[in-house]
């Protein structure tokens, strides 16, 4: 996130850092913690606050103590405390004054807990739309890859289950006669009529033991 100067002519309190007596502009709710409103200004139209150890999600909202300047919104960014390299995660606008932020696995999948910082930046709505499009593209690609991986696991599990019913029919010569008719010797899969129910029960059992079975 670039800490650029806000545009000239914006109404207070967004055009200048808030004073100690000014009402809070933003609030943050981390599950299990009190509402956080001590969000520090670091520059014109720029604020940060520490969220501590990265939660899986949190809520950020406008207190509506002052309306946003027309045509502007608040960009939301996250960064590790030790790098302060911010990533765009969402936005607040006058029409959408609150948002639930799902924290990226980048901040969660680590051997050691990661402390994170929330950055808020006053941006033009057009810029926020561009940031949103940039964020959605890799997310859509990741979701598509996840769906493909899940489909592959489902197919593999179904294949393994079907193959478990296979049997080999052999004969000294000619065809083998069963109750239905004559068939050539070879490997065959003979399925009971309850096959689908059994496979569904098998999958449900796996999911009950591990809900990340497909992932």
Predicted confidence at residue 146, as pLDDT, reads 64
Measured between alpha carbons, how far is 93 from 71 in angstroms, rounded to an integer?
9
Report the SS3 class of residue 212: coil
Beta strand pairing call for 166-169 and 115-124: unpaired
Q: Can you give the pTM of this predicted structure?
A: 0.58
Of 73, 78, 87, which Cα lies nearest the Cα of 26? 73
pLDDT digit string, tens, across residues 157-172? 877 877 777 666 555 5
Predicted confidence at residue 5, as pLDDT, reads 46
Q: Which H helix or E strand runs over 62?
A: strand 57-62
Band of pLDDT at residue 134, cut at 50, 70 and 90: low
Predicted confidence at residue 13, as pLDDT, reads 58
Q: How far is CA 42 from CA 3, 39, 102, 127, 199, in A?
A: 9, 10, 24, 21, 58
> Domains of the chain: which residue ranges?
26-124
Among 10-14, 87-91, 134-138, 164-168, the least confident range: 134-138
């Amino acid at each position: 996130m670039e800490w650029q100067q806000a545009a000239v002519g914006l109404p207070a309190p967004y055009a200048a850092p808030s004073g100690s007596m000014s009402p809070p502009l933003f609030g943050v709710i981390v599950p299990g913690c009190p509402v956080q409103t001590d969000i520090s200004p670091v520059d014109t139209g720029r604020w940060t606050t520490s969220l501590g150890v990265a939660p899986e999600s949190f809520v950020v909202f406008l207190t509506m103590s002052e309306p946003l300047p027309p045509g502007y919104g608040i960009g939301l960014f996250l960064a590790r405390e030790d790098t302060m390299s911010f990533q765009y995660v969402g936005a607040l606008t006058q029409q959408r004054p609150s948002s639930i932020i799902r924290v990226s696995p980048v901040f969660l999948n680590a051997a050691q807990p990661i402390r994170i910082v929330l950055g808020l930046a006053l941006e033009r709505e057009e810029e926020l739309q561009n940031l949103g499009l940039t964020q959605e593209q890799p997310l859509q690609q990741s979701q598509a890859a996840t769906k493909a991986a899940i489909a592959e696991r489902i197919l593999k599990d179904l294949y393994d289950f079907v193959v478990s019913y296979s049997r080999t029919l052999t004969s000294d010569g000619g065809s083998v006669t069963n109750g239905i008719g004559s068939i050539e010797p070879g490997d065959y899969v003979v399925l009971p009529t309850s096959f689908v129910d059994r496979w569904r029960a098998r999958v449900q059992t796996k999911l009950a033991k591990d809900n990340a079975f497909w992932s």
